[in-house]
Amino acid sequence: MSTVLVTGGAGFIGSHLCDRLLAEGKRVVAVDDLSSGRIANLAEARGYGQRFTLHNMDVRLDELRTVFDRHRPDVVMHLAGQRSISASLTDPLQDASGNVLGLLNVLDCACAVGTRKVVFAASGLTLYGEPRSIPVKESARLRGRPVSPYGITKAAAVDYLDFYQRAKGLDFTALALATVYGPRQGESRVVGKFICQMLGGEAPTIFGDGHQTRDLVFIDDAVHAFALAADRGSGTLLNVGTGSETSVKELFALLAKLTGFRGKPSHAPPSEGDVARSSLDSALAARKLGWKPWTELEDGLGATIEWFRAG
């Protein structure tokens, strides 16, 4: 039975990934400092008994090595780190500490115990900067200029992964994720925030004119890409998105219809560090992983709304 270590395992994407890997028969070790992850997200994973272990730990700590020594994972899924674009703008040092130093500690630990591969959660929204053409291909990274420190750390991470593969033989796949949404997501991102506000009868705020777009990919689809990447996509950066653009105004209208919200949005100035358009070309992921999205946006949003209602 192979062992997979998931950093950020109590988070939105990480907890769903733990569930998927356990269902596949893997032994799963989650590492999470619970600064944003939630124990409640791991209710299903904890039902697998001794096949699931959680370590409450920051991935930057030296003690992470003891976790690797104990479990000796075959694959690491690295999702932990600082995840706020706005926080990176106000404190780039802390952002780099979480997203660069944390990554390097994970990579060094993985090399020390003979881990075969690291699958990394990159950011398709930020690492390419403002796209010149839509949908964005992976080759855009070579000329991209991220507009936030967060995006800079995600772009640098891919270079570090490439170095560790060339210099130390640690295989990797970096998944440039579109905007992932679904059950268990927090209220800080646009889909979760809009749903919570609408269900509470509060008018959501649209930053800017609402014409900015996002590529919205459902959580089950995103997790499927991680599961496939454990054994495929060696040494590559792969986009994980739908290739479709949804404007914030369109998202508002669709969520209003699905929740029954009849109010109008309020407006605020554009967010600093935000890109105007985002859509990812996932043709390379289809070739390298055999991956493609299958969840229709309205179906995924409906499932997400029901989860928030039940909570």
Distance CA 233, CA 284 (A): 9
CA distances from 220 to 20, 125, 133, 182, 223 (A): 9, 19, 27, 8, 5
Q: Is 145 helix (H, G, I), strand (E, B) or coil?
A: strand
DSSP 156-212: HHHHHHHHHHHHH--EEEEEEE-EEE-TT--SSSHHHHHHHHHHTTPPPEEETTS--
Helix locations, the chain, DSSP H: 12-23, 43-46, 64-71, 85-90, 92-96, 102-113, 149-168, 190-199, 219-229, 248-259, 283-289, 297-310
Look up residue 308 and give its DSSP letter: H
> What residues act catalytically?
150
Which value, to the nearest 10 degrees, does the dihedral of the CA atoms of residues 283, 284, 290, 293 take? -40
Distance CA 38, CA 17 (A): 14
Angle between helices 297-310 and 190-199 (to 10 degrees): 50
Distance CA 13, CA 3 (A): 18
Distance CA 198, CA 305 (A): 10
Residues contacting residue 271 through CB under 8 Å, at least 6 positions apart: 85, 86, 207, 208
